[in-house]
Amino acid sequence: GFHAFEFGNWRAADPVATTALKNKLGLECACIVGNRAVDPKGMTLVDPRDREGFLTEIKASMEAAKRFETTRLVTLSGNEIPGMPREAQHRSIVEGLKAAHDVVAPHGITLILEPLNTLVNHAGYYLNYTREAFEIMREVASPNVKILFDIYHVQIMEGNLIDTIRKNIAHIGHFHVGDVPGRNEPGTGEINYGNVFKAIHQLGFRNFVAMEYRPSKDPMATLAEVRALYQACV
């Protein structure tokens, strides 16, 4: 089976019960959400006025990460601010990540910044292309700040998956898996996941490749199929 899980809405969970269940099942927590930038209650990176609140969220998430024994916080840019130049929002993201780095790095925590597609699921989201995402990584220049490369989102926005992964693997800290269209399991859409998995493994990536899809049939059957596909590629 799979040896890890992701934790989205950890704020609504009982940390003691969750940790006990995690340990009972022998699972590892791959990551939790760091800031809720697409939630009205959350703080963004694009708006410098959110900086203090963003860092407060990151600090709280870092303490939760310690409880759940994970070292990765999913980080979101937030939606584009109308009327504010993109250059200013880009700069705010870089400055916010640098400030957050100073908070998390001493504790061995890594921020994984996620670009999202704006054509199907997340209209208005700022960070929708990998080119800018990797520019941000080069500007922040920290081993504790990486990209969460969601294969589903990137395929929708730009395709060219394997070449983009190869050129930027040093800046990628985590992968999400889902096919296009529909975000169902691999094999239901247009992505050649066999070749993508091979490329990721051949590049020496040994962090998490996480399943984030909507099963089109029995969930356990899809997990078994995806695991078999991945293992055949590595």
Is the full-model pTM beyond 0.85? yes
What's residue 40's pLDDT? 76
Q: What is the mean pLDDT of each run of 10 residues along the chain (234 residues)?
A: 90 90 96 87 93 97 95 97 98 99 98 99 98 99 99 99 99 99 98 98 97 98 97 92
Range of the domain at 99: 4-233
* Count of structural domains within the chain: 1
What's residue 188's pLDDT? 98
Among all chains, which residue has been given the structure tokens 């760091």? 34
153: domain CATH number is 3.20.20.150
* Chain-centroid distance, C-alpha 174: 6
* Chain-centroid distance, C-alpha 214: 17
**Rounded CA gap, 140 and 114, in Å?**
15
Contact 226, 190 (CB under 8 A): no
